[in-house]
Amino acid sequence: MIVVDNGSGDSTADVARSFARKLPLRLFSEARPGIPRCRNRCLREARNRVLAFTDDDCKVPPDWIQRIATYHEAYPGAAAIGGPVVNGAPGLLGETNQRMWESWLCAYREAPKSGTSDIRFRTPARIPHVLKRPAQVRSLFTANCSYKVVSIRRIGGFNESLLTMSDEELNWRLCNSGERLLYIPDMPVVHAHRGAIASFIEQHFRYGIGFYQTRTLHPGMPGILPRSTLVSVWMFPILALTQALFNAGVARLSCKTLPLAVLMWIAETAFRTGALYAGTGHRRAVFLPAPQPAPSRTSAPSAHSHSMAASPKGDTEKTLSCIAPGPTSRGKL
C-alpha cells in the first residue's frame, strides 16, 4: 500500500504512519501540488500490475480490490476497468452531482457513435439507465477506476499541467492508442458529493476549464455545444425555469423534479462558462498555466501493481496502493 501526502496541513502523515504498523504501507511526500503529480508518483512507486484509484471522500466496499482483480482477470483485454460512483450525500446537490455523472458518462459514450463531435448533457428524465451490463466506454472516473500499469506507463502517465480532467485526458490517450476501457455496473463506490452551492458551482466551473484545456491538447475529442452559454450566464433564472418546465413536462413535475432540473442547468452553465473563460485567454493567468503537450510514450518497466489512490480535499492528496495479486492472462475483451 502506497500513501502519497501532497502537502497536507493536518495529521495525514501521522495517521498513515500509525497504519504502517498494521499494514504493508509505504509513505511518500510529494511537495509539488496537484492530483496528477500524486497519481504519477504512485505510478512510479507501484510494484504490481494494476492501479486502482478512488477519492478521499469515497467509501469502497470491503471486496472492492478483490472485484477489481477478478474483473481484470476476466477481461484481460481491458487497459482500464471502472464502475459507478453512487451518491452518498443527502440533499438535492448530491443527487444533482450523481445525475451529472450519469449524464456525462452516457453523453461521452454516445458522442462518437452518434456522428457528432459534441457532448450533450441530459435532463433527469432523459438519462437512460442502459449501463446494466459490462460495456466498453471512452470515459471512466478516477473516483472508481483501475488501470493496467503497463498501459498508462506506455503513454507517459497523467498530464501534470492540467487543472482538472487529467483522468479524461489520460482516457482519451488510452483510447487513441488502441486500448479499451470497460465499465462494470456492479462495482460501485459511494461518494460524498459537495453539499454547498458555492463549491458545487466552483467545481463544475473548474471542470469546464479542465475540459477546455484537455480539448486544446486533443482537438478530435468530443466538445461541448456552445449554444446559449453567454445568454444563460445573464438570463439564467428565466432560462433555467423554462428549460426545466419544458424538459421535465408540466404534467410529470414533482416537488423534486423541477429543482433537480434547475440545479442540473446551473451545473451545465457553470461548466460551459468555465470552458468559455479558459478559451478567452484567461488560461494564461498565473493560477492557470497553459496545458502542456500530452506526455510522451515511454517503455513500460517490468513492474506490476494493484493500487488505490485517493484524491484531495483542498491541497491534500493521499494516494493508496493496495496489492491484490492475480495471474496475468491473455484474451480478447
State residue 242's pLDDT score. 59
Question: Cα–chain-centroid distance for residue 306?
Answer: 19
> What angle separates helix 257-279 from helix 236-248, to the nearest 10 degrees?
130
Whether residue 2 contacts residue 46, with contact meaning beta carbons closer than 8 Å, is answered with yes
Residue 326 included in any domain:
no
Residue 256 included in any domain:
yes
Distance CA 169, CA 211 (A): 9
- Candidates 94, 100, 96; CA nearest to 121 is 100
Residue 67 included in any domain:
yes
Whether residue 85 contacts residue 142, with contact meaning beta carbons closer than 8 Å, is answered with no
Find the domain containing 70 and state its range.
2-320
- Candidates 314, 233, 328, 213; CA nearest to 273 is 233
Give residue 91's region: left, alpha or beta (phi > 0; psi -120 to 50): left
Distance CA 164, CA 129 (A): 27
Residue 270 included in any domain:
yes
Distance CA 106, CA 268 (A): 15
State residue 87's pLDDT score. 83
Residue 329 included in any domain:
no
State residue 123's pLDDT score. 46
User: What CATH number is attached to the domain comprising 232?
Assistant: 3.90.550
Whether residue 51 contacts residue 43, with contact meaning beta carbons closer than 8 Å, is answered with yes
pTM (two decimals):
0.72
Chunked into runs of 10 residues, the chain (333 residues) has average pLDDT values of 85 89 88 90 92 88 94 96 85 77 64 45 48 80 93 94 87 91 91 79 86 81 53 49 55 61 81 82 44 54 37 36 35 38
Residue 286 included in any domain:
yes
The total number of structural domains in the chain stands at 1
Distance CA 87, CA 85 (A): 7
Residue 264 included in any domain:
yes
Grid cell for residue 235: 438570463
Residue 273 included in any domain:
yes
